[in-house]
């Protein structure tokens, strides 16, 4: 199961620098352990997260097995216009998860 908690300011002024916080519930399983049947558990991590706002990518992080379970990310961006920030996570095996958060600009 995938769950993300995204925090954006309730309101921002045009041109203001705002902080975006993202906490993702994910085990970030590095794999390699025995599956109890003679095989090994495959790696299953979130390997990339991107954030897009006002038509442009504003943040990207490539993750690896050194990232702890339930990763937390914080970054800043400039408030340009009221709109959705689209967050996308890519997981090993091809799964993609998407969430949005609304940034209101006055």
E strand map for the chain: 3-7, 17-25, 46-53, 56-62, 72-78, 83-91, 96-103
Pair of tokens at residue 40: 């090994």
User: 55: phi > 0 → left, psi -120 to 50 → alpha, else beta; which?
Assistant: left
Burial class for 13, CB neighbours closer than 10 Å (0-12, 13-18, 19+): exposed
Rounded to two decimals, the pTM is: 0.91
Quote the mean pLDDT of the chain.
95
**35 vs 102: CA distance, rounded Å:** 42
In which residue ranges of the chain is pLDDT below 50?
none
List, in order of start, the domains of the chain with CATH numbers.
3-28+44-103 (2.60.40.10)
Pair of tokens at residue 104: 């209101």
């Amino acid at each position: 199961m995938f769950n993300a908690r995204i925090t954006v300011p309730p309101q921002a002024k045009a041109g203001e620098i705002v902080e975006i916080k993202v906490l993702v519930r994910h085990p970030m399983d590095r794999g390699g352990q025995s599956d109890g049947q003679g095989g090994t558990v495959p790696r299953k991590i979130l390997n990339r997260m991107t954030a897009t706002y006002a038509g442009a990518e504003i943040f990207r992080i490539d993750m690896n097995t050194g990232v702890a379970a339930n990763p937390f990310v914080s970054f800043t961006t400039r408030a340009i216009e009221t709109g959705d920030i689209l967050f996308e996570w890519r997981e090993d095996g091809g799964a993609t998860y998407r969430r949005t958060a609304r940034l209101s600009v006055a």
